[in-house]
Amino acid sequence: MASRQEVIPAARRAAGKARVRAGFFLAALAALCCLGGCISLPQSEALRASPPAGLPPRVELTQVPFHLQDDFLCGPASLAMVFNAAGVSSASVESLTPMVYLPGRQGSLQAEMLGATRRTGLVAYTLAPQLEDVLREVAAGTPVVVLLNLALKLVPVWHYAVIVGYDLEKREVIVRSAKRARDEWSFGFLEFFWQESGYWSMLALAPGRVPATAREADFAAAVAALEQAGRRLEARESYRALLARWPDNLVGLIGLGNVEYTLQDMAAAERAFRRASEAHPQSAIAFNNLAHVLAVLGRLADAESAARSAVALEGPALPEARKTLEAILARRHPP
C-alpha cells in the first residue's frame, strides 16, 4: 500500500520508458502483495465483504474538541479530547501531561493512559481488538483512542490518535491525530498502522455509562479498577449501571457493597452483599462481607451465621473468614 503511493508520482516524473515500466511492475507487485497477503488487512477486508449490521452508514462526533499537541504529547492530547467528550471540560494537554507523560520515554505508556483516565474519575475500558467494535462505540457517541505503530516492527514509532467518526460507504474513519484536527483514513490505512499494537484501543466513559460493545467480565474489571484508584462515587455509579445490565455479576455486587460500606451506607451495602450471597452461594467473600456489615448494624446473630457460611465455604478467603467469625464471636460472648 505504502509502496504504491510512492511509486506513482515517481513514475510520472521518470523520463525513461523502462522506469515507467518498472514503476508499473512495482505497483502491480505491491497490489499483488496486498491481495496475496504480504500486507494482510483482514479486518478491513472482512468489513468490505460484509458491512456490519445495525450501524448508521455515517457518523461524525463533531462535538469532540481537538487539542493540538506539542512534541511527544499525543498521549495527553488524545486523552484531553476523549475526557472533554466524556464531560470533563477542564481536561487539557497541560493538566494531563503530568499524569501520563513519561519524560524518560518521551511518550505515554498504555497502562498510564488507563490510569490517568481513572484518576480523572472516568472508567477506562479497552475494547476487543476489532475495527467493528471501534465503529460501534463511535456510533454510540464515544470517541476511541487507538495506538498505532507508524514505523517498522523492529523500530517502532508509537502514536495515539482519536477516532471520532466513520463512513461505511467510503470505508473511512475520521481521525484527530497529531497536528491535524480532521483526517479521513481508509479502513485499510488505519489497520496497517494499528495492527502492531494488537489493535489496542480504549474508551474513557463517564460514570454510569456502559460501552456499546461491553463484555461483562472486562467491564466489571474496568469499574473495579476505578474503585481501586480511589474514585468511589464514580465507581458506585458505574457498578449500578453494570448491575442494571448484568444483575448477577459477582464483581459488581461485591464492588457495590464495598463502596457502599466505605461510604457508610450500611443498608445499601447489606442489600448488595445479600444479593451476592444469594446469586453466588459459593462465594465466601459475599458471606464474609455480609457478616461484617451485619455486625456493624448490630445484628450479631445474623452476622455469626453469615460468617459461619463463609468459613464453611473455605477457599482462598478462609483466613479472613475465620478472623471475621472470631471477631463476631468475641462481640457476642464478651469474656
Partner 1 sequence: MSTSFVRLISRLLIVCLIGLPFQVNAGMIGTDEVVSAAQAQVARATVLSQISRADVAGQLQSLGLTAQAATDRVAALTDTEVAKLAGQIESLPAGADAGSLLLLILVGVLIWWLVVRK
Shortest CB 64 distance to partner 1, Å: 18
Q: Which of 6, 53, 54, 51 is nearest to 26 (CA)?
A: 6
CA 327 to chain centre: 40
Please report whether residue 92 would count as binding partner 1 according to CB under 8 A. Answer: no
Q: Which segment (82-90, 96-104, 182-190, 258-266) binds partner 1 by CB under 8 A?
A: 96-104
Yes or no: say if 178 and 184 are a contact pair by the CB < 8 Å rule: no
Positions 210 through 229 that interact with partner 1 (CB under 8 A): 217-218, 221, 224-225, 228-229
Q: Give the nearest distance from C-beta 79 to partner 1 in angstroms.
A: 10
Taking the C-alpha atoms of residue 115 and residue 111, their distance in angstroms, rounded to an integer, is 6
Residues 262-321 that bind partner 1 (CB under 8 A): 316
Please give the residues from 239 up to 258 whose contact with partner 1 meets the rule CB under 8 A. Answer: none
Minimum distance from residue 99 beta carbon to partner 1 (Å) = 7
- Please identify, using beta-carbon distances, which residue of 192 and 261 lies nearer to partner 1: 192
Rounded Cα distance between 274 and 245, Å, is: 19
Binding pattern for the stretch 103-122 against partner 1, x by CB under 8 A and - elsewhere = xxxxxxxxxxxxxx-xx---
Scanning residues 59 to 88, which ones bind partner 1 (CB under 8 A)?
Answer: 69-75, 78
Q: Which of residues 127-166 bind partner 1 (CB under 8 A)?
A: 128-130, 147, 149-151, 153, 156-161
Among 20, 59, 178, 212, binds partner 1 (CB under 8 A): 178
Q: Taking contact as CB under 8 A, which single stretch among the options 14-22, 203-211, 260-268, 294-302 is the one that binds partner 1? A: 14-22
State in angstroms the smallest separation of the CB of 302 from partner 1: 29
Q: Which residue has the cell 490510569?
A: 115
Give the integer Cα–Cα distance in Å for 150 and 153.
9
Q: What is the largest CA-CA distance in the chain?
A: 103
Q: Are 324 and 289 in contact (CB under 8 A)?
A: no
**In terms of CB distance, is 146 or 291 closer to partner 1?**
146
The C-alpha cell that represents 285 in the structure block: 467473600
Per-position x/- string for 25-64, each x denoting binding to partner 1 as judged by CB under 8 A, each - no binding:
xx--x---x--xxxxx-xx---------------------
CB atoms within 10 A of CB 189: 20
| Listed residue (101, 102, 96) closest to 81, CA to CA | 96
The Cα 256–Cα 195 span in angstroms is 37
C-alpha to C-alpha distance for 135 and 117, rounded to whole angstroms: 21
- Our CB check for partner 1 shows the closer of 10 and 244 to be 10
Count of residues touching partner 1 (by CB under 8 A): 76
| C-alpha cell of residue 70 | 506539542
Is residue 7 a contact point for partner 1 (CB under 8 A)?
yes
Cβ distance to partner 1 smaller for residue 75 or 211: 75
Q: Which is nearer to partner 1, 116 or 204 (CB)?
A: 116
Upper half-sphere CA count for residue 163 (Cβ side, 13 Å): 32
Question: Around Cβ 8, how many Cβ atoms within 10 Å?
Answer: 12
Using the rule CB under 8 A, is 94 a contact of partner 1? no
